[in-house]
Amino acid sequence: MTLVASKCPRRVAEPPGAVVEDWETEPGTKLRVRCYWQAAPLTQPTLVLVHGLEGSMESTYMRGTAAKAWRAGFNAVQANQRNCGGSEHLTETLYNSGLSCDYRAILEKLIRDGKSEVFFCGYSMGGNLVLKMAGELGAAAPEQLRGVVAVSPSLELGACADMLHLPRNAFYEWHFVRNLKKRFRRKVELYPQRYQFNGLDRVRSVREFDDVITAPYSGYRDAVDYYTRASALRVAANIRVPTLIITAEDDPFIPLEPFRDPAITQNRHIALVVTQHGGHCGFVSRYEGDERFWAEARTVEFCLANRRSGSREVKRSG
């Protein structure tokens, strides 16, 4: 399902009136976003979508979820992570799994712009980021943040890196490492005064890339320090907004054990759905239409169920 879902086109029409903008999240850093606004955007809820490692707003699940959300009456915002989707020139920094500050900045911007109901949905690495944001906000989360969805989130980064390095996942790891190296080479070309190729040719795994590149250039001691501090599981117990987590037992590189942590299972604000099949961000069902890509449909359904609920306890859909 992992491969099929990533290549299958969504048979839904793209919402009309796409607006592409660059939103500043901190001085010197902008994220490229694509927005689909309803005719009366201030009266409608907004769903912000965040992609996974080496994805972009063009990823199939980003396009599919945005289309479903827009048809359900939501404003849809597809956010590229730093450097993704051809936006390397918008910041000197690299992207990493600890930059939940970017999505808090987007939340704050939407609130300043008058949006009264905001939801976030993150896939894979994006799922870790939106869960981390919600956990860091804790009980101080603004009332405008109505809910968070994480699909196949990389909840515990070290465990994910180790599982990705298993021999059966060699193709996936090769894909990620190749693209991470290509992206870093583009950063070196843009900012040679900041980045160097030192050690890049020796990198053969995602953990090695994070140890040699991500961690030292992002303020972490090494990959272990990065994984520890950037993993959403560390703050998940503090989540106080309605949250839906969807993961699959057969995900090839997201282990199930972290989802059994009491921070998840004993938090009454979190609804955890574990399916037998689904792969990584796949969840292709036998049904047609909106139900074909099951997690996308559940995301929109969950957000609809938690509109103006008046309670911070999760409203389960379906």
Q: What is the token pair recorded at 28?
A: 């010197």
- What is the residue extent of each domain of the chain? 2-156+239-305
- CB-based contact 77:46 (threshold 8 Å): yes
Chunked into runs of 10 residues, the chain (318 residues) has average pLDDT values of 63 86 98 97 97 95 95 97 96 97 98 97 98 98 98 98 96 96 96 93 96 97 98 98 98 96 98 96 81 92 84 55
- In the prediction, which pLDDT does 290 show? 73
- CB-based contact 140:104 (threshold 8 Å): no
- The CATH superfamily holding the domain 2-156+239-305 is Alpha/Beta hydrolase fold, catalytic domain (3.40.50.1820)
- In the prediction, which pLDDT does 318 show? 45
3-state DSSP of the chain: CHHHHHHCCCCCCCCCCCEEEEEEEECCEEEEEEEECCCCHHHCCEEEEECCCCCCCCCHHHHHHHHHHHHCCCEEEEECCCCCCCCHHHCCCCCCCCCCHHHHHHHHHHHHCCCCCEEEEEECHHHHHHHHHHHHHHHHCCCCEEEEEEECCCCCHHHHHHHHCCHHHHHHHHHHHHHHHHHHHHHHHHCCCCCCCCCHHHCCCHHHHHHHHHHHHCCCCCHHHHHHHHCHHHCHHHCCCCEEEEEECCCCCCCCHHHHCHHHHCCCCEEEEEECCCCCCCCECCCCHHHHEHHHHHHHHHHHHCCCCCCCCCCCCC
Strand 243-248 relative to strand 270-275: parallel, antiparallel, unpaired? parallel
Strand 75-79 relative to strand 118-123: parallel, antiparallel, unpaired? unpaired
